Amino acid sequence: MNRGTRSKKFREMGFSDRLEFVKLNAQLNDDEAESLRSLTSNDFENSNRMIENAIGFFKIPLGIATNFVINNKKYLIPMAIEEPSVIAAASYAAKLANNSGGFKAAMTKSVMRGQVQLTCVPNIKVAISSIENHRQNLIRIANSVSKKIAAFDIKTRIVNDKTHILRKKMIIIELFVDVKDAMGANSINSMCERIAPEIERITSGTTILKILSNYCVERLATSEAIFFKDDLGGENIVERMLYAYALAYSDPYRAVTHNKGIMNGIDAVALATGQDFRAIESAAHAFACRSGIYRSLTTFSRSDAGDLKVKIELPLAVGTIGGIASVHPMAKLCLKILGANSAKELGMVIATVGLAQNLAAVRALSSEGIQKGHMKLHAKNLATSVGANAKDIDVIAKRMYDTNQVSMKNAEKILNDLRRNKKIH
């Protein structure tokens, strides 16, 4: 790194200089720095357009979940995830659902809300009345932002400061927007900012926050399926699965882990298709505690024939246009593979994958236990991490799994034994 480069800010550096800066300051060796370079150099321009201070892409395995039939349509579902068993489990559950006709899914309209926080008004009742009287004009101003999405309603709420720091009431002006096939965040934020000066003018108050809410309860996705008891392992397994669900519904400590399994499936599809999976997570967990207690996002019940009925419902803000979904080359490719023709269809698919993943996980937990499948794949990961070649990975993994000694130390020992035997022979 030359003297001129040293004086530059990190954001002003090119890829090579940024890499050299990180190498020096993080004390990376030559091999580590070369790993960064070889993995990211070709992708630098793309990553640098998406985020600030980029040095490349952090790659996550991409797989395809199969067997899914949703509303009588077959899907190949891209999933980006680093955790083993998830894609296999979702595909397995989808296969079982096909025996009863597949999944039936639905989604409400693509409605999001933006919020403008109004404080310090001289008279709350007068301010609310003034906002209502100017309602149509505020909607008109909001709609001057975009020709593609449309605000259609404005409502007000009074929110008390429950921190007791300011001890003041706030008026929240909520703008409801039909975002169609977009997620809608940028446009709604702009709409809120656009109407804020007019709100201040007509109320003599002060606006603070102007931003969308990710808690999109007007944008709910549902999916359901019946799983035949014989496919699950019989009446006893169904009974055990219902007990497992009862715990997830009744106890937040179990519900968090239960819903984490659901989000394994949801986040993986969201990430692959360029969605804001953090917003999806936040809304899902808020929805899970809408009753005042954190509960399962899925519901399990028994049909008259003794089969298992499973349903999921959650808010899902997703889009097939705009945002990363329109910029990231892999996200665009994954959307094409998936073949979802609208944001509503994408939401139905994502909810269904969450249901499928949950069904498979609860069945495994209720029968042989979750670790059986996990440990087989974990053994392969350990064999890879100790430097085994492709031919030896399965051998090492099988020996560890068969002897119930799945550990890094044992993987190294087996690999060294294999290498010594090869030299002898």
Asked about 83 being catalytic, the answer comes back as yes
Of these residues, 104, 260, 309, 311, which one is catalytic?
Answer: 260
CB 192 within 8 A of CB 210: yes
E strands within 33-129? Answer: 62-70, 73-80, 104-107, 111-119
Of these residues, 374, 376, 398, 413, which one is catalytic?
Answer: 374
Cα–Cα dist 224/222, whole Å: 7
CB 320 within 8 A of CB 184: no
183 — phi, psi (to 5°)? -70, -40
Q: b/e string for 313-329 if b means 16 or more Cβ within 10 A?
A: bbbbbbbbebbbbeebe
3-state secondary structure 84-105: CCHHHHHHHHHHHHHCCCCEEE
Q: DSSP class of residue 234?
A: S
Of these residues, 181, 224, 267, 276, which one is catalytic?
Answer: 276
Task: Report the Cα 267 to chain-centroid distance in Å.
Answer: 3
79 — phi, psi (to 5°)? -135, 125
- DSSP letters, 155-196, are EEEEEE-TT-SS--EEEEEEEEEE-TTB--HHHHHHHHHHHH
**Six token digits for residue 383:** 């064999």
What stretches of 251-385 show up as alpha helix (H) in DSSP? 252-272, 277-288, 329-338, 343-366, 371-385
Asked about 374 being catalytic, the answer comes back as yes
CB 210 within 8 A of CB 173: no
Backbone angle region of 317, left / alpha / beta, with phi > 0 → left and psi within -120 to 50 → alpha = beta
Of these residues, 83, 132, 230, 235, which one is catalytic?
Answer: 83
CB 419 within 8 A of CB 389: no
Task: Report the Cα 385 to chain-centroid distance in Å.
Answer: 27
Torsion sign across C-alpha atoms 60, 63, 68, 71: positive
Report how far apart, in Å, the C-alpha atoms of 120 and of each of 2, 173, 274 are.
Answer: 54, 14, 40
- Active centre residues (catalytic): 83, 260, 276, 374
